[in-house]
């Protein structure tokens, strides 16, 4: 969607396994974000990155890790330390650090069994 590719669309993993969600963008945006969405709740910020090789924790970073080795890519790893990993994960980008609308990917639905 809008130059952001999240893959896969659906992902199933066994409890205790780490899993990496992919987010790639061709919008040339500096800022990238990972959100988690659970039913009946707003989007919650996991991690964000304003520039390559730099990223910051959001509100619910525990149990997650990220990297930003390239401007185009911001993968999210859900580790076994995340207590409730089943959720809808959304990646977003933004070109305006001051104020501007986010562009979101189409999301990855992770189910841990």
Partner 1 sequence: SQKIEQNSEALNIQEGKTATLTCNYTNYSPAYLQWYRQDPGRGPVFLLLIRENEKEKRKERLKVTFDTTLKQSLFHITASQPADSATYLCAPAHNNNDMRFGAGTRLTVKP
Interacting residue ranges for partner 1, rule: CB under 8 A: 1, 4, 31, 35, 40-43, 45, 48, 50, 56, 90, 92, 94, 96-107, 109
Distance CA 60, CA 49 (A): 15
Closer to partner 1 by CB, 20 or 106: give it.
106
Residue tagged 């800022």 (tokens): 31
> To the nearest whole angstrom, how small is the minimum distance from the Cβ of residue 35 to partner 1?
8
Closer to partner 1 by CB, 20 or 56: give it.
56
Closer to partner 1 by CB, 43 or 80: give it.
43
Residue tagged 């790639």 (tokens): 24
b/e 73-112 (16+ beta carbons within 10 angstroms → b): ebbbebeeebeebebebbbbbbeeeeeeebbbbebbebeb
> To the nearest whole angstrom, how small is the minimum distance from the Cβ of residue 73 to partner 1?
17
> To the nearest whole angstrom, how small is the minimum distance from the Cβ of residue 31 to partner 1?
6
> To the nearest whole angstrom, how small is the minimum distance from the Cβ of residue 46 to partner 1?
13
Closer to partner 1 by CB, 3 or 79: give it.
3
Q: Are 55 and 34 in contact (CB under 8 A)?
A: no
């Amino acid at each position: 969607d809008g130059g952001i590719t999240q893959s896969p669309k659906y992902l199933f993993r066994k409890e205790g396994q780490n899993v990496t969600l992919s987010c790639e963008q061709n919008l040339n945006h500096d800022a990238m974000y990972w959100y988690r969405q659970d039913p009946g709740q707003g989007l919650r910020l996991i991690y964000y990155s304003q520039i390559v090789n730099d990223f910051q924790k959001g509100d619910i970073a525990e149990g997650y890790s990220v990297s930003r080795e390239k401007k185009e890519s911001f993968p999210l790893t859900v580790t076994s330390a995340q207590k409730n990993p089943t959720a809808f994960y959304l990646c977003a980008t933004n070109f305006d650090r001051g104020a501007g609308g986010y562009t979101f990917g189409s999301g990855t639905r992770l189910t841990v069994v």
